[in-house]
Structure 1
Amino acid sequence: MSLQKVLSQCVIDAVKELYQMELPSVEFQPTRKDFEGDITVVVFPMLRFVKGNPVEIGTKIGEYLQEHVDEVAKFNVVKGFLNVVIDDQFYLDFFDTIREEANYGFAKDISSDAMMVEYSSPNTNKPLHLGHIRNNLLGYAVSEILKAAGKKVYKTQIINDRGIHICKSMLAWQRFGEGETPESSGLKGDHLVGKYYVAFDKAYKEQIAELVDNGTAKEKAEKEAPILLEAQEMLRKWEAGDEATVSLWQMMNGWVYEGFDTTYENLGVDFDVLYYESNTYLLGRDVVKDGLEKGIFFKKEDGSVWIDLTDEGLDEKIVLRSDGTAVYMTQDIGTAIQRVTDHPDINGMVYTVGNEQDYHFKVLFLILKKLGYTWAQQLYHLSYGMVDLPSGKMKSREGTVVDADDLLTSMENTAEELSKELGKLDGYSEEEKKRLYRTIGLGALKYYILKVDPKKRILFNPEESVDFQGNTGPFIQYTYARIQSILRKADFDLSIDLKATFDLHGKEKELLKLIQLFPETVQLAAENYSPALIANYTYDLVKEFNSFYQQVSILGESDGTKKQFRVLLSKKVGEVIQSAFRLLGIDVPERM
């Protein structure tokens, strides 16, 4: 049980006995560094229920706690703050209960209700880019955090594999490809298809320029460029099931999927179930028709179907065009319902999508609620901001968007350069070095992105992210490796009776307090869908450990019991770092 839980009921009991008042809750905060104490009870909020001087109230509650609570050693009151000093044995008893616990901090019971987390969801006309990296890292980390908090989770994506965008790549490959394949070109499949999407765009712009030169208005030229009309015709053929068109579509999408799979593997993310827009784009229309009959939707004079959300502070939103075809909203309604049909234990969904779609998801969630689905109460849009790079740092092959594969390679190279400069690789084989560069580079990228609140825009600096000092992945990885080095050198018996009496060093106590917060932090991160809470907790833990390491002798301690305890404490800190980083999808090296 956490210290806060232990004290909370005792403070409520104290106020009830001393003042005959029932407090609804108790406010705590960490004790300020310049005062003695392990936890502080804030007295000021109690003044709404208890009349009197806050110092006197705090003193009386402190006396009650000292008399009735074994864990309370002493206290002091500063103005309206009751600073409570906790007996060392409380922390030693706590450590004794968790020191052998595997997966400490993770829920032991899994909920029967499942959450589905959607992330990535790319178009199949080009490779994944920097924005997809943030999306994948957030979605994967939130999935793992939810699982650690006791939720059953399905990780999914909807692959946008149909539409004019893929037809543009297909048409350009037909025109200019000369039968080129990933095997013949040496290119990853997604890069090859992306190459022809760029080729289409180039030819399209040339045709527009030619039409304009011959007197066509620019707006008209953009709609009537022959290559665009051909792509539109190809889409109509695909929708009609034309055998040759569908065969080409399957072949080129197959190339892309193989390319995506390689990127996902390199990034360290995975999925439990896949949905394809080619299978879902017709879903939702029947739902809209049913909703129309129930009065949830309404029909305009031109036959289009809408929903009126003005009473919710939004506006009217179209859900079916006048010709009966679906819009994206219709597909999303149908896909959400289909997912629950496929997985009946789903009781909520998380959509990892950029903040430019904030309005779309407000509308989608409201519609699903109005349609009466109980799981619609548990829908969450994990909205995130853009990721920018310092200008000139990286250019993609198109010169506009930063390619995910290129960024991963660049991170590995940056880690290699810095590691060589620092001379930390003595005794490593070439294979071990390469593995370490990859671990450091990928850890740096993931941590730099995940430590930031998802809603904030990020300026990602590759060199800064690989720094071995400060709030970075490599700094935390290096501390983990330092702990493993201590454990390798601790060639003595680590069995210890924690009932034995010895005084804790202040730094040991601070570490134990932080370790105690890990389960609560996991739950809080799950409730807020925030990997940043896990990342920054881990940084705080690592900072505290390094302070402990510098100020307290571990292997050089002459007292055998204290030495054993400090090694065991270091081991537990390492385990918590490893567990926290596992939630973020980051590996930790045994040595650096």
Structure 2
Amino acid sequence: MELITNAVAKAVKELYDADIAAKDINLQETRREFEGQVTVVTFPYTKMSRKSPEQTGGEIGEYLQRNVEEIASFNIIKGFLNLSFTDDFWLSKLDKEVLAEDFATVVPNGRKVMVEYSSPNTNKPLHLGHIRNNLLGYSVAKILEAAGYTVIKANLVNDRGIHICKSMLAWQKFGNGETPETSGLKGDHLAGKYYVLFDKAYKQEIDQLKAAGQTEDDAKKNAPLIKEAQQMLQKWEAGDAEVINLWNTMNGWVYAGFDETYKTLGVDFDKYYYESNTYLLGKDIIEEGLSKGVFFKKEDGSVWIDLTDDGLDQKLVLRADGTSVYITQDIGTAQLKYDDFGVDESIYVVGNEQDYHFKVLFLILQKLGKTWANGLYHLSYGMVDLPSGKMKSREGTVVDADDLMQDMFNTAAEQTEAMGKVVDFSEEDKTKLYRTIGLGALKYFLLKVDPKKRLLFDPAESVDFQGHTGPFIQYTHARIRSVLSKAGYNEAAGSASVTTLEGVERDLIVTLTKFPETILAAAADHSPALIANYVYDVAKTYNKFYHEVSIMQADTENLKQFRLSLSAGTAKVINKAMALLGIEVPERM
């Protein structure tokens, strides 16, 4: 807070004849168990004062109280100077900042960032892990946008490779011409069905070969199905018309299915990239790196980079037969993304099992002299587990995204109806509300945890209306809208003037004023969890306010209007904060 840092710098100069830059002064939020809103750490100034931290804090505190009209009082706990601001200060903050139409709106910073997320494979539907990925990517994009960046939301679709051919081959062998229309299945579910069927048939062939005396490794290589899949991939890369036609048909089914899931989940993209278009792009850059001595060629003709001096290992970037490996494609795609948009930063939202891959990728691009490589960032996140255990796509044990969302809608319906709050809702309004609550519960539960942490998703816990959950925050917003509606509150009229604040009113205003700084912190950390936990704090503080003071039966009309304004400001912050998480808040529930 500039007001305090400048004042402390003046205090140190006048009291101890020492110069200190305002930017070097350490301010902290006062801990909840102590009185005050801002804490000055006084230990750094004891050398200048030649006194104890407590004495130093006392002298600085007295100076601030004398010279800064916004300071009401102070207290000292060991070497920490806790400052309390006047009620006038907080009332001004409410009127001029929180209730202003442009609150928490920042001026564009002129920087451009791409957030790449989702990155699905076209051989199976999206699952719970993809949901965390999509929600993280979308929310980080919204937060960066709110922090002043121009944001491009991108999706790199993994639409080629042996895993895609497995689904295609199984459909050829076992499908009997089945389509999404004839089967009643979404296209992505249909492709996933044949991916699982391939794996089952493949395992049977392996078992037969092992029974005939082959080792497991040999059986995996010699099974007829895997050989056919490899041949299909070779035909695809050679442009075989029949294979390409099947690939286009099945991918078309999958894309239609993905679009439906994305729409339900509430995420979108500005740009799609496809591996089928990008997998060869890195070859020219590899040749360029060879000529510069960044890479070296082995006797068999394969191309490598030696990263042992950087604490990594040697990495293959081009096979002996001249074909690309995964990192070759990523090198080319990174260049393409920069060429397309000239971004200052490029964020990859990818699970932490790829941590090493991205260390290598970014290091290679830096060694190639790509100036934009310093703006690359891997938003690494932990896996999502369920009480039932780990998911495996090949075995068909994944938690399907569509099924999970439907389960969340059903759970929200059960919980809401049990509370008896929707008796006057139309069926259409009920359906909309249950979807809003169900998605809010799912999104909030997955986003409130630091992205780097692995988490256990409990669907039942996520829909608790009283816990640290999305529905609790949504219900708080609906409660506020109900109060404002019953009071006939006119937001355009602004807040009425009061001169003193109850402690809980002050606490709520203090919490609301932290929204802009929370957005900037969440953008800097690429962490929606900071927003999620902040908005929970807002909801919790509002509910304390709601229960401790009377709004409708306030002692005076002025006080009533003030509390209504404070409520309206709270609803606005909850709405904006939840929107940054991709979560809607209902007007009533």
2:180, 2:573 → 1: CA distance? 43
Written as runs of structure 1 = structure 2, the 5 A alignment for 1:255-274 is 255-274=253-272
Aligned to 2:479: 482
1:34, 1:173 → 2: CA distance? 64
Aligned to 2:108: 110
Read off the aligned partner of 2:105 and give its amino acid letter.
Answer: F
Deviation at 1:369, TM superposition (A): 1.2
Which of 516, 520, 530 lines up with 1:519 in the alignment?
516
Read off the aligned partner of 1:28 and give its amino acid letter.
Answer: L
Deviation at 1:80, TM superposition (A): 2.1
Written as runs of structure 1 = structure 2, the 5 A alignment for 1:86-125 is 86-107=85-106, 109-125=107-123
2:81, 2:519 → 1: CA distance? 28
Secondary structure at the aligned position of 1:264 is classed as helix
**Is the contact made by 1:23 and 1:49 (CA closer than 8 Å) also made in structure 2?**
no
Count residues with an aligned counterpart: 587
Aligned to 2:363: 366
1:428, 1:398 → 2: CA distance? 42
Written as runs of structure 1 = structure 2, the 5 A alignment for 1:22-171 is 22-24=19-21, 25-33=24-32, 35-107=34-106, 109-171=107-169
**Is the contact made by 1:23 and 1:46 (CA closer than 8 Å) also made in structure 2?**
no
Secondary structure at the aligned position of 1:390 is classed as coil
Aligned to 2:534: 537
Aligned to 1:175: 173
Secondary structure at the aligned position of 2:315 is classed as strand
Residues 64/360 of structure 1: CA separation in 2 closer, same or farther (3 Å cut) = same
**Is the contact made by 1:413 and 1:437 (CA closer than 8 Å) also made in structure 2?**
yes
1:34, 1:383 → 2: CA distance? 35
Secondary structure at the aligned position of 2:344 is classed as strand
**Is the contact made by 1:99 and 1:568 (CA closer than 8 Å) also made in structure 2?**
no
Aligned to 1:415: 412
Aligned to 1:528: 525
**Is the contact made by 1:91 and 1:512 (CA closer than 8 Å) also made in structure 2?**
yes
Residues 60/530 of structure 1: CA separation in 2 closer, same or farther (3 Å cut) = same
**Is the contact made by 2:8 and 2:64 (CA closer than 8 Å) also made in structure 1?**
yes
Which of 5, 9, 12 lines up with 2:9 in the alignment?
12
Deviation at 1:176, TM superposition (A): 1.3
**Is the contact made by 1:41 and 1:83 (CA closer than 8 Å) also made in structure 2?**
yes
2:138, 2:150 → 1: CA distance? 14
Deviation at 1:27, TM superposition (A): 2.4
Secondary structure at the aligned position of 2:377 is classed as strand
Written as runs of structure 1 = structure 2, the 5 A alignment for 1:299-318 is 299-318=297-316
The superposition leaves residues 409-468 of structure 1 with CA deviations (integer Å, 9 ceiling, x where unpaired) of 111111111112222212011111111111111100100000001111111000000000
Deviation at 1:66, TM superposition (A): 1.7
Deviation at 1:111, TM superposition (A): 3.1
Written as runs of structure 1 = structure 2, the 5 A alignment for 1:139-538 is 139-344=137-342, 346-391=343-388, 399-491=396-488, 500=497, 502-538=499-535
Deviation at 1:74, TM superposition (A): 2.5
Deviation at 1:49, TM superposition (A): 4.3
1:301, 1:435 → 2: CA distance? 64
Read off the aligned partner of 1:541 and give its amino acid letter.
Answer: V
Unaligned runs of 5+ in 1: none
**Is the contact made by 1:66 and 1:72 (CA closer than 8 Å) also made in structure 2?**
yes
Deviation at 1:154, TM superposition (A): 0.6
**Is the contact made by 1:106 and 1:522 (CA closer than 8 Å) also made in structure 2?**
no
**Is the contact made by 1:234 and 1:245 (CA closer than 8 Å) also made in structure 2?**
yes
Residues 500/190 of structure 1: CA separation in 2 closer, same or farther (3 Å cut) = closer
Read off the aligned partner of 1:574 and give its amino acid letter.
Answer: A
Secondary structure at the aligned position of 2:153 is classed as strand
The superposition leaves residues 92-124 of structure 1 with CA deviations (integer Å, 9 ceiling, x where unpaired) of 1111112543352132x2233311111110110
1:292, 1:119 → 2: CA distance? 31
Provide TM-score, normalisation by structure 1: 0.96
**Is the contact made by 2:491 and 2:568 (CA closer than 8 Å) also made in structure 1?**
no
Deviation at 1:134, TM superposition (A): 0.6
Secondary structure at the aligned position of 1:77 is classed as strand
Secondary structure at the aligned position of 1:519 is classed as helix
Residues 44/219 of structure 1: CA separation in 2 closer, same or farther (3 Å cut) = same
Aligned to 1:588: 585
The superposition leaves residues 496-517 of structure 1 with CA deviations (integer Å, 9 ceiling, x where unpaired) of 6869452111111111111111
Aligned to 1:546: 543
**Is the contact made by 1:494 and 1:564 (CA closer than 8 Å) also made in structure 2?**
no
Deviation at 1:397, TM superposition (A): 11
1:128, 1:531 → 2: CA distance? 21
Residues 112/35 of structure 1: CA separation in 2 closer, same or farther (3 Å cut) = closer
Residues 493/152 of structure 1: CA separation in 2 closer, same or farther (3 Å cut) = closer
- The share of aligned pairs that are identical, in percent, is 60
Residues 254/48 of structure 1: CA separation in 2 closer, same or farther (3 Å cut) = farther
2:217, 2:394 → 1: CA distance? 29
**Is the contact made by 2:45 and 2:56 (CA closer than 8 Å) also made in structure 1?**
no
Deviation at 1:495, TM superposition (A): 6.7
1:485, 1:354 → 2: CA distance? 41
1:390, 1:202 → 2: CA distance? 25
- The root-mean-square deviation of aligned C-alpha atoms, in Å, is 1.9
Residues 501/576 of structure 1: CA separation in 2 closer, same or farther (3 Å cut) = closer
Residues 497/347 of structure 1: CA separation in 2 closer, same or farther (3 Å cut) = closer
Secondary structure at the aligned position of 1:158 is classed as strand
Deviation at 1:392, TM superposition (A): 7.9
1:241, 1:497 → 2: CA distance? 67
2:83, 2:496 → 1: CA distance? 22
The farther-off stretch of 522-531 and 506-515 is 506-515
Deviation at 1:368, TM superposition (A): 1.1
1:336, 1:366 → 2: CA distance? 13
The farther-off stretch of 263-272 and 197-206 is 197-206
Read off the aligned partner of 2:57 and give its amino acid letter.
Answer: G
Residues 565/156 of structure 1: CA separation in 2 closer, same or farther (3 Å cut) = same
Deviation at 1:264, TM superposition (A): 0.5
